Amino acid sequence: MTEQTTPAGGPGAILGAWDTHLMNNYGRPQRALVSGRGSTVVDEQGNEYLDLLAGIAVNALGHAHPAVVEAVQRQVAQLGHVSNFFAAGPPVRVAGELAARFGDPSARVFFCNSGAEANEAAFKLARLTGRRRILAAHHGFHGRTMGALALTGQPAKRAPFEPVAPGVEFYPYGDIDYVRKLVDINPADTAAIFIEPIQGETGVVPAPEGFIEELRLLCDAHSILLVTDEVQTGVGRTGDFFAFQHDLPADTRPDIVTMAKGLGGGLPIGAVIATGEVAATFAPGTHGTTFGGNPVSCAAAEAVLGAVDDAFLAEVRRKGAAFARRLATIGGVAEVRGRGLMLAAVLDAPVAKQAVAAALDHGLIINATSERVLRFTPPLIITDDELEQAAERLADTLAQVINANA
């Protein structure tokens, strides 16, 4: 019998064993969570927190949502993993629903396990056009796998792993004149332009009004694929099912959309939606992933899609607008940006990372994308009362850290 190496239990057991068993690529967590319901989570010491991060926009319906729990339990008891040699009901139904939400009868779906995998697949679809050049935005984030990393416009993240995939060139986010000049260098060899409707990891920075529409026109003029990365913004996070629906005229769409995070309601799933000729680009053997389209993850996604209807989206818009107004009243907040329940508070002072740590002692989970920016991506089912409690706790937190740095 091997020696017992899992935590024996009791307060502090999980966090105490972290350094022994896990690699240090995330740093040491400040808390270990053991349960959650709705917008509240509980740590191994029994402390409760309002969760305004939701696993980085993953738990769209919160923790332990009854529809997700029931769907997963039912599916795992009926049929688990089947591989891509066989079909199953949940992935077929979810693909059909995503295509219907996208609104183009030519749409086809590829399932994978994460946002990075979805962007890898989109990268490969672009290269299968026969063109080599890919344009992506400075400060953008598309994942940490080697292909997705090549698309990520943050040199510090790429540098340790160079050389990454060649052929990616970067443009200033929102600068359509610069993009036009880049395209003009060699339009016939430009395969795709990648864009996040809102740059999440950079600090919840929305694309300037009209920018994505101008990209669509530019792509149309040169037969270039427009790829919107909706890994963080999709599935209602911004108050529209797809964030591009805010930026593009009705009946106008990207050629490819990548998704993940909120789609699975807490289970790992990614998806690529493609239309027209590009939707038929993959042939047997050109791409794949063992767990893509797993029936259990797709059952969870089906439950999420069943909840995120027009009335649900209207509530996300309403709650997001109200919370943005409330955030703007808090001392130390200089600016609020974002849409729906994907928001950021830009602070007067560089204390955001200190605030994240201090907020835990106030029963609040938040995130800092830089020294001056706090990001909020709570469960989309969060209540008005919970948002008010969060605002009060944030106000106390900021007052504490600002006074400590005075």
Catalytic residue among 43, 51, 229, 240: 229
Q: Which residues lie closer than 8 Å to 70 by C-beta, 6 or more apart? A: 303
The span from the CA of 352 to the CA of 345, in Å, is: 9
- What do you get for the CA distance between the two ends of the chain, in Å? 57
Is residue 261 flagged as an active site residue?
A: yes
Closest of 401, 404, 403 to residue 352, by C-alpha: 401
Beta strands 225-229 and 333-339 are unpaired
How many residues does this entry show for the chain? 406
Catalytic residue among 244, 261, 282, 376: 261
Is residue 242 flagged as an active site residue?
A: no
Q: Which residues lie closer than 8 Å to 362 by C-beta, 6 or more apart? A: 393, 394, 396, 397
- The 10 Å Cβ neighbour count of residue 86 is 9
DSSP state letter for 10: S
What would the two tokens of residue 9 be?
């239990």
The span from the CA of 369 to the CA of 48, in Å, is: 24
What would the two tokens of residue 8 be?
């024996």
Residue 114 exposure: Cα atoms within 13 Å on the Cβ side: 10
Catalytic residue among 141, 194, 244, 323: 141
DSSP state letter for 328: T
Is residue 141 flagged as an active site residue?
A: yes
What would the two tokens of residue 38 be?
């709705």
The span from the CA of 44 to the CA of 270, in Å, is: 30
Burial class (CB in 10 A: 0-12, 13-18, 19+), 85: exposed
As beta bridge partners, residue 346 has: 335, 373
The span from the CA of 272 to the CA of 109, in Å, is: 6
Q: Which helix (H) or strand (E) holds 396?
A: helix 384-405
The residue behind tokens 């009901």 is 89
The span from the CA of 323 to the CA of 301, in Å, is: 27
What would the DSSP string read from start to end of 63-113?
BT-HHHHHHHHHHHHH-----TTS--HHHHHHHHHHHHHHT-TT-EEEEES
The span from the CA of 23 to the CA of 28, in Å, is: 10
Residues forming the active site: 141, 229, 261
